Amino acid sequence: MELVCIGNELLIGKIANTNAQWLAKRIMSLGLQVTRITVVGDNVQEIAAALRESLRRGPTFIITTGGLGPTFDDKTLEGVAAALNLDLDEDKEALKMIVERYKRYVAEGRMEKFELTPHRLKMARLPKGARPIYNPVGTAPGVLVEDEGTRLIMLPGVPQEMKAIFDESVAPLVRGVAGDLTFYEASIEVRGVPESELAPVIENVMHDNPYTYIKSHPKVSEQTPYLELHLSTTSKDANLARQSVTKTLAQISEIIQNKGGKIRPVEA
Amino acid sequence: MELVCIGNELLIGKIANTNAQWLAKRIMSLGLQVTRITVVGDNVQEIAAALRESLRRGPTFIITTGGLGPTFDDKTLEGVAAALNLDLDEDKEALKMIVERYKRYVAEGRMEKFELTPHRLKMARLPKGARPIYNPVGTAPGVLVEDEGTRLIMLPGVPQEMKAIFDESVAPLVRGVAGDLTFYEASIEVRGVPESELAPVIENVMHDNPYTYIKSHPKVSEQTPYLELHLSTTSKDANLARQSVTKTLAQISEIIQNKGGKIRPVEA
């Protein structure tokens, strides 16, 4: 599974890529893994290039965020069409979704009147063979198109819309591929043992517990360095996943305390 | 300029990529642009592949974050070596930096004693021809290596260390390439005009003001949708940059207010 996040605002540091973080976390909890995140600007060639490279690696899913709206620099669907050598075509279902949404805005008094301008029509122009995904909270539908075993799913950049479409329509597809895999994680804070001293300990404990992955994150709080150890695993059996992490956590905690280190659990 | 951010914690959504945001913002303010951000996990082949792809696009700089520490999954320098077909070799200057840092920790009572373990030595093993960059606040030095006109700069993932090395040693290099370019930006909040209605306005105003870039960001606050318009420009003349954005802002603000919209300045 790969993410391609589209938007100049990400490349100028106007915002942090919290969409990628949210998606990665959600996808992980559903049992699949994100293997790469690519961020490109609002440029058809850049979007198409990033998608082509991603498609070449053959992931089960590519999820894009951003660039589905009505403005001239919303270029994601053009980029998808270019990457897949497809034309853009007005999609009846997408158009219906968009018109109904605007009519509701008028009914709710959020807009005075509705006209089907070229900028609004643009959101219904999908790559041929693609289908729209209902957006329960905004105007631009999500889009799904398949290419040689990879499902490309385009989501809007507005976090509320991206999350709503993902939870309603994309999560079931991910779950269908992941099966019953579950992800389990736990973190502890370690003080009093430097990372370089803990490095060989982590290797030994991971060798004893091959299903649990341990990663150390050096941190600083009030000028004092400390470590966060993150333990995680994925398993078809939720109990087994929890047991595997718990056992590993107990083992490494004991070693750290024997070295004079102090540990404290961290909320996920 | 491209960023390659390394770390499983980014791919599982444990943290947002705030390092990329900070770097992008800083680089922009120095007058260069980030054109792509790639995130990969702690895997030599993945790191090498991402770097090779980036090198093929020929940016002036590639900055990596993460994976320089002492643990087994700190694999950035191995990835760089693989991408550039270089061997890893113990670097005397890097080793000196690392030893001095640990000795200071001992002197400050933050460590009991210092031994040069293989895990600590690892941070001094650089790709051949690379040179270490002094880390004023942590153990692992940054690393600089050149490849056919691209400068690869490897920074640690700990934000405090990454920022300190960037400001002290990398910013001057970026400024050297960017010259006196400055970036100027302003944002306003727009309520009462839907994005699809503003889309053609933005296009017209940008046509009249070719040096200012305008991007609209749909937002939601307390269930009410609104827009943030972000105006930005880059120029050798700081006054001209400010004037260009200010003039464009005045023009679009007037049109929005004539359409019955309400505007409000937003802090950058």
Residues of chain B with Cβ-Cβ distance to A229 below 8 Å are none
Task: State the nearest Cα–Cα gap between B240 and chain A, in angstroms.
Answer: 20
Q: At what angle do helices B44-56 and B76-83 cross, to 10 degrees?
A: 50
**Single-letter residue type at B233:** T
Stretch(es) of chain A classified as CATH 3.40.980.10:
2-178
In the DSSP assignment, the letter for residue B120 is H
Pair type for strands A2-6 and B2-6: unpaired
Q: Mean pLDDT, to the nearest integer, of B207-231?
A: 89
Write the residue in B37, B53, B160 that is nearest to A10 by C-beta: B37
Q: What's the confidence (pLDDT) of residue A222?
A: 73
Q: Are B99 and B132 in contact (CB under 8 A)?
A: no
Q: What's the confidence (pLDDT) of residue A262?
A: 95
**Contact between A70 and B111 using a beta-carbon 8 Å cutoff:** no
Q: pTM for this structure?
A: 0.92
Stretch(es) of chain A classified as CATH 3.30.70.1130:
182-266
Residue of B nearest to A215 (CA): B73
Percent of chain A at pLDDT > 70 equals 100
pLDDT band at A268 (very low <50, low <70, confident <90, very high): low
Q: What is the pLDDT of residues B56-115, one digit of tens each?
A: 999 999 999 999 999 999 999 999 999 999 999 999 999 999 999 999 999 988 888 899
**Single-letter residue type at A128:** K
Residue of B nearest to A160 (CA): B220
- Spatial CB neighbours of B127, under 8 Å, sequence gap ≥ 6: B77, B80, B81, B84, B86, B87, B88, B89, B143, B145
Q: What is the pLDDT of residues B20-34, one digit of tens each?
A: 999 999 999 999 999
Q: Mean pLDDT, to the nearest integer, of A71-85?
A: 97
Task: State the nearest Cα–Cα gap between A28 and chain B, in angstroms.
Answer: 6
- 3 state DSSP class of A15: coil
Residues of chain A with Cβ-Cβ distance to B16 below 8 Å are 16-18, 20-21
Q: Mean pLDDT, to the nearest integer, of B239-262?
A: 95
Q: Mean pLDDT, to the nearest integer, of A6-18?
A: 96
Residues of chain A with Cβ-Cβ distance to B117 below 8 Å are 196-197, 200
- 């790709």: which residue's tokens? B127
**Higher pLDDT among residues A214 and A109, named by residue:** A214
So what's the architecture of B182-266 in CATH?
A: 2-Layer Sandwich (3.30)
- For chain A, the average pLDDT equals 94
Q: What's the confidence (pLDDT) of residue B268?
A: 62
CB pairs under 8 A between A and B: 189
Residue of B nearest to A260 (CA): B112
Q: What's the confidence (pLDDT) of residue B134?
A: 97
Q: What's the confidence (pLDDT) of residue A182?
A: 85
Distance between CA atoms of A102 and A61, rounded to whole angstroms?
A: 31
Dihedral sign from CA coordinates of A60, A62, A63, A69: negative
Q: Mean pLDDT, to the nearest integer, of A86-104?
A: 96
Q: Pick the range with the lowest mean pLDDT from A76-80, A82-86, A209-213.
A: A209-213
pLDDT at A200 over 80: yes
- For chain B, the average pLDDT equals 94
pLDDT at A97 over 80: yes
Q: In what order do the strands lie in the sheet with A213-221?
A: A213-221, A224-235, A182-191, A262-266
Number of Cβ within 10 Å of residue B21's Cβ equals 21
Q: What's the confidence (pLDDT) of residue B36?
A: 98
Q: Mean pLDDT, to the nearest integer, of B203-225?
A: 88
First CA to last CA across chain B, in angstroms? 23
pLDDT band at B150 (very low <50, low <70, confident <90, very high): very high
pLDDT band at B131 (very low <50, low <70, confident <90, very high): very high
Write the residue in B14, B18, B50 that is nearest to A230 by C-beta: B14
Residues of chain B with Cβ-Cβ distance to A197 below 8 Å are 117
Q: What is the pLDDT of residues A131-189, one digit of tens each?
A: 999 999 999 999 999 999 999 999 999 999 999 999 999 999 999 998 888 889 999 99
Q: Mean pLDDT, to the nearest integer, of B169-195?
A: 92
Q: Which CATH number fits domain A2-178: 1.25.60.10, 2.60.40.2470, 3.40.50.11750, 3.40.980.10?
A: 3.40.980.10
Tokens standing for A29? 């909890």
Q: What's the confidence (pLDDT) of residue B221?
A: 76
Q: What's the confidence (pLDDT) of residue B47?
A: 98
What is the distance of C-alpha A156 from the center of its chain? 12
Write the residue in B10, B36, B198 that is nearest to A38 by C-beta: B36
CA distances from residue B20 to B37, B122, B241, B247 in whole angstroms, order as listed: 7, 25, 25, 31
Its ipTM equals: 0.91
Give the helix/strand (H/E) hosting A121.
helix A118-121
